[in-house]
Amino acid sequence: MSDNPLEPNPQDYDRINVNVEAELAYWTDQFGITRARLAEAIEQVGPRVVDLQKFLGIPVVGTD
């Protein structure tokens, strides 16, 4: 986990830091959605990646 907000990968793979541009870009690319759709999803279910995947209909791999 990195504390550098300029790195292209997320600081935390469980939760999106909405204040870091690189994380927003990373997750929109990973989810294959627009920035507006990501913002809408975060507003609905919060920044937890698993919750977002479920909300967006993206298969969740490796969770119990």
- The per-residue pLDDT for range 6-64, each reduced to its tens digit, is 556 788 889 999 999 999 999 999 999 999 999 999 999 999 999 999 999 999 876 55
pLDDT for res 9: 79
CA 45 vs. chain centroid, Å, equals 12
Report the predicted TM-score, pTM, of the whole model to 2 decimal places.
0.80
E strand or H helix that includes residue 51: helix 49-56
**In angstroms, rounded to a whole number, what is the distance separating the alpha carbons of residues 30 and 64?**
21
CA 45, CA 47: separation in Å to the nearest integer?
7
Longest dimension (CA), the chain: 32
